[in-house]
Amino acid sequence: MGIQKIEVYSITLAYREPFRIATEASTESRNVVVKIVTDYGVCGWGESSPSDRVTGETAETVIKVLDKIAPRLIGMCPLRIEQNVELMDSMVAGNPAAKAAIDIALHDILGKTVKKPLYMVMGGYRTEILTDITLGIKSPREMAKDAVKAVKKGFKALKVKVGVNPEEDVERIRLIREAVGEKIQIRIDANQGWMPKQAIEVLKKIEKFNIQFAEQPVPAENLKGLIEVKRNSPIPIMADESVHSPEDALQLIRAEAVDLINIKLMKGGGIHKAKKIAAIAEAAGIPCMIGCMGESEIGIAAGTHLAAAVKNIQYADLDSDLLLKDKLATKGVTKVKNSMRILPKLHGLGIWELNGEILGKPLKVYH
């Protein structure tokens, strides 16, 4: 059994409204979709949603990297995932979002080959997971209104973007907590927007608003600052931009720099590496979250299956498909009901039908 053909598609998905975080604003997500066809009739879908800000990748670099990798994967056994990941890493350093597209498609094939939903093949710990919905940066009052709208839709957890201006950030959290009441979980994400001292000040001021955890308070490269914030914060600290790979996770855990880790398939190169991060963190008593960054239903399905499979992935921020206006997958998507991501009982990722207009014709075909 071998990989017979790889198709690469370039897609552009518009957000419902401009999405702003501490360091940038986006109106669309430019992603790359991969279809891997095997010589035994099973095919798998994968997706890359690159972020220049996080890993230095763009749709163009992903397409270039796939142009090197894809020809070498032809003829390889799709189920030998560790071997295929090793091959990709030996050919091209870094570029995790490009490699994630291949990794996700291989995992889709794994589930379809054994005729089971992917999460059942990978450990099958749970069948659904609570996801938050993210509130992008606006004025504190507008964000409080967005929070109420999200709660009315059934969301039980809010991820609030902060990190612009410390005083205004405190006001954001105060107004949102007042607007939604005590029962809704609130977690915050500063996206590297604060200096360590500012972070500690803000975190002490918002402690009374019952904040579950605070993501990436300081710049990724400032390890000393992160350690200082973690030591002095009354709120648990989660690393996001600071942890891309299993090696990063080990380094931060050894430095006692974090309480929690946000795993993203696009930072680490896909599901295979994400499982290693979750295992390292579990051994250290550090729970993980699964996050996302602009993925459509394909990438979100991959994240949901991983979170369902792995016990130590206790939190989920799986909402990018909900923030996008354009819908790539039309059937077999992981639905959200009362804040829970529910997996379809279909084989593999479960992605059943894609919107041909959005997908278009393949940019490249390797065979």
Beta bridge partners of 36: 6, 44
Name which of 38 and 191 has its Cβ closer to Mg ion.
Answer: 191
Q: Which two tokens stand for residue 65?
A: 């990297």
Q: Is 189 in the site for Mg ion (CB under 5 A)?
A: yes
Please provide residue 356's backbone torsions phi and psi, each rounded to the nearest 5 degrees: -60, -30
189 is catalytic: yes
In the complex, what is the shortest distance from the CB of residue 238 to Mg ion, in angstroms, rounded to a whole number?
8
User: Which residue number, 245 or 355, has a Cβ lying nearer to Mg ion?
Assistant: 245
240 in catalytic set: yes
264, 267, 273, 275: the active-site residue:
264
19 in Cβ contact with 294 (< 8 Å): no
- Say how many Å lie between the first and final Cα of the chain, rounded: 15
67 in catalytic set: no
146-150 long-range Cβ contacts below 8 angstroms, 24+ apart: 147/176, 147/179, 147/180, 147/184, 148/179, 148/180
- Least distance in Å: CB of 249 to Mg ion? 15
Q: What is the CA radius of gyration of the chain?
A: 20
Stretch that binds Mg ion, among 118-126, 138-146, 187-195, 250-258 (CB under 5 A): 187-195
Considering only residues 240, 248, 319, 321, which one is a binding residue for Mg ion as defined by CB under 5 A? 240
Q: Quick one: 128 or 240, whose CB is closer to Mg ion?
A: 240
Angle (CA) 52-21-237 rounded to 5° is 95
Of the pair 132, 189, the CB lying nearest Mg ion is at: 189
Residue 319 is a binding residue for Mg ion (CB under 5 A): no
Q: Report the site for Mg ion in 135-154 (rule: CB under 5 A).
A: none
DSSP per position, 285-309: T--EEE--SS--HHHHHHHHHHHHH
Residue 225, Cα to own-chain centre: how many angstroms? 24
Q: Which stretch binds Mg ion (CB under 5 A): 55-63, 182-190, 205-213, 339-347?
A: 182-190
- Single out the catalytic residue among 108, 146, 240, 248: 240
Tell me if 295 contacts Mg ion by CB under 5 A: no
DSSP annotation of 243: -
Q: Binding Mg ion by CB under 5 A: which of 57, 128, 215, 297?
A: 215
Catalytic residues: 161, 189, 215, 240, 264
Interface with Mg ion (CB under 5 A): 189, 215, 240
